[in-house]
Homo-oligomer: A and B are copies of this chain.
Amino acid sequence: MLRTHNCGELGIKDVKSNVTLCGWAQKIRDKGKIIWIDLRDRYGITQLMFEEDSSDKNTFDIAKKCGREYVIKVSGEVSERISKNPNISTGDIEIKVSEMEYLNVSEVPPFTIEDETDGGEDLRMKYRYLDLRRSPLQKNIFLRHKLMSETRNYLNSQEFIEIETPVLIKSTPEGARDFIVPSRMNQGEYYALPQSPQTFKQLLMVSGYDKYYQLVKCFRDEDLRADRQPEFTQIDCEMSFVTREDVLKSFGKLINHLFNEVLKTDIGEIPIMQYDEAINSYGSDKPDLRFGMRFRDISSIVQGNGFKVFDDSEVILSIKVKGASSYSRKELDELTNFVKKPQIGSKGLVYIKCNEDGSFKSSVDKFYTQEILNDIANVNNAKKNDLILILAGEKSQTFSAMSSLRILMGDRLGLRDPNNFKPIWIVDFPMFSYDKESNDYHAMHHPFTSPISSDTKLLDSEPIKAKANAYDLVINGVEIGGGSIRIHQRILQEKVFKILGFSSKEANDQFGFLLNAFRYGTPPHGGIAFGFDRLCALFAGKESIRDFIAFPKNTSGRDTMIDSPSAIDEDQLKELGL
């Protein structure tokens, strides 16, 4: 190695040692007769000191001309600092440099390589290799590595084996859009990149591998958002001879392991909630449980009192906002404007303030007596100084709107601490959603999900009522993983394909290999997949996944650093028959 030590390891114990370090000149302070340089590498920062009097003249001159981000190699003696820096691990010492060499020079970077940089998003994407030098990004990439290795450590210890599945697979029109790859050797034919290794992991269960996992890249050609990337990473897992409880227990332990090892946090056993309860209480199958504000349906209390808005509503929902009765007119107007935004879609907001003196002040005072307001307060378990917010309207819109309002109030009251983790398993999802316009059933999870066994018969009579043996792991309102007990019988799989509108021919063209595999002794099996990029962001208390991926794409699916996608040679296209 060109160095004897890295920039993060020297301390008071090393004083008087002669060392050689390599790294980047992070900060240069030239005081005339004395120069300090902060030397940075992945491991830390070490202060270098050059004195005009004691340094070799040549060395001092080299230091004098050193620029920001120059790559340098220095040798010298470790000495105790006069003014120590308790914020860094090497803060007790500095190097009295006797020799210095530029390993490479640097132009002035287009933005500062500091925790708080002056570079805008686009500039930093173009120079990603410089942005990746910044400590916040390095921390993210190290966190990702740690989560990756702890995931593997744990699953390996549980006899899971990692098996790579192919990247060049077959396109299936079902689900999201595939990226496709033209075949040169089979012209007019295409591979597709996998949206998930779902069918392959099921085949591995058919093959008897019993416990499989893979940290695997998956691909979706979708329009992008901050938390979506065309390529993303999954922790993909499958087990044989298991029930739902076995899967939740096994992977609950994985998640516990990750929190223990990476964040030194014990999140305890992960509770289970029915899908119906999640919707009824929080208006979402991804409830954020860091705070309460459960929905209370007050339809039976308020309807029939002559307030037409409520009387005409399918549902009337309320939440209690603790200690918020002091909200001003202006603040309440803001909330009203929020729920009236087109993407929320409510017609208005009703409030009840629980006054200090036990009386109530409401925006619908003229329709409701203090007794009725008191009843609403009781249902919400509201005490004096609390605020009750009420939305009414069509059922699904109102649940969804109230969910958004609940999250907003959680934010306003500071109840969504990113370092507080509240995981929940959501279970018993519906098998299908139904699209009235097209008269189509869609799989809520995916077409390979089994119904809970008591609901199998509903597939023939009322598929919409059938519950799936599926489960999601939700942490702090974010879906971190999802899976199901799979169908392992050919007849049942064919029935589900039929409900989903596949003709027999389509089912066989696309999934014939799986249906065939089911002929040869397929074990009961189930599994789960975790969104690894999101898991990384969650562990760091962040929302966007982009800064947890070394080289992400922008929202147009472009890598502006390498300028990709790009035009390609005519010859290349010709060879592919395009």
A residues bordering B, Cβ < 8 Å? 1-3, 6, 22, 24, 40-43, 69-71, 73, 103-107, 109, 127-130, 132-133, 138, 141-142, 144-145, 148-149, 152, 156, 161-171, 173, 177-186, 188-193, 199-200, 203-204, 206-210, 217, 219, 221, 223, 230-231, 233, 240-243, 246, 488-489, 512-513, 516-517, 519-524, 549-551, 553, 556-559, 561-569, 572, 575-576, 578
Inter-chain contact A164/B233, CB cutoff 8 Å: yes
Inter-chain contact B189/A241, CB cutoff 8 Å: no
Inter-chain contact B569/A208, CB cutoff 8 Å: no
Please pick, from B42, B141, B203, the residue contacting A129 in the complex, using a CB distance under 8 A.
B203
A-B contact pairs, 15 of them (CB 8 A): A1-B241, A2-B243, A41-B208, A145-B163, A167-B231, A168-B559, A184-B221, A185-B556, A190-B567, A191-B564, A191-B565, A199-B562, A200-B551, A203-B551, A217-B217
Inter-chain contact B163/A565, CB cutoff 8 Å: no
Q: A183-B557, A210-B41, A559-B166 are in contact. Are A106 and B519 (CB under 8 A)?
A: yes
Inter-chain contact B1/A242, CB cutoff 8 Å: yes
Please pick, from B42, B199, B208, B561, the residue contacting A24 in the complex, using a CB distance under 8 A.
B208
Inter-chain contact A564/B169, CB cutoff 8 Å: yes
Please pick, from B210, B217, B246, the residue contacting A164 in the complex, using a CB distance under 8 A.
B217
Complex CA gap A578/B171 in Å reads: 16
Complex CA gap A572/B522 in Å reads: 33
Number of copies: 2
Complex CA gap A204/B167 in Å reads: 24
Closest-by-CB residue of B relative to A1 is B246
Top 9 A-B residue pairs of the complex, sorted by shortest distance between their CB atoms: A106-B521, A132-B207, A189-B565, A170-B564, A183-B565, A69-B521, A2-B241, A145-B161, A129-B203
Least CB distance from A350 to B in Å reads: 44
Complex CA gap A167/B156 in Å reads: 26
Complex CA gap A132/B71 in Å reads: 51
Inter-chain contact A169/B559, CB cutoff 8 Å: yes
Least CB distance from A217 to B in Å reads: 5
Could you list 18 further interchain pairs (A-B, Cβ under 8 angstroms) beyond the known A132-B204, A167-B231, A186-B557?
A: A41-B208, A103-B524, A106-B521, A129-B206, A129-B517, A149-B162, A164-B549, A168-B179, A168-B219, A169-B564, A170-B559, A170-B566, A180-B572, A181-B193, A181-B565, A189-B565, A190-B568, A191-B564
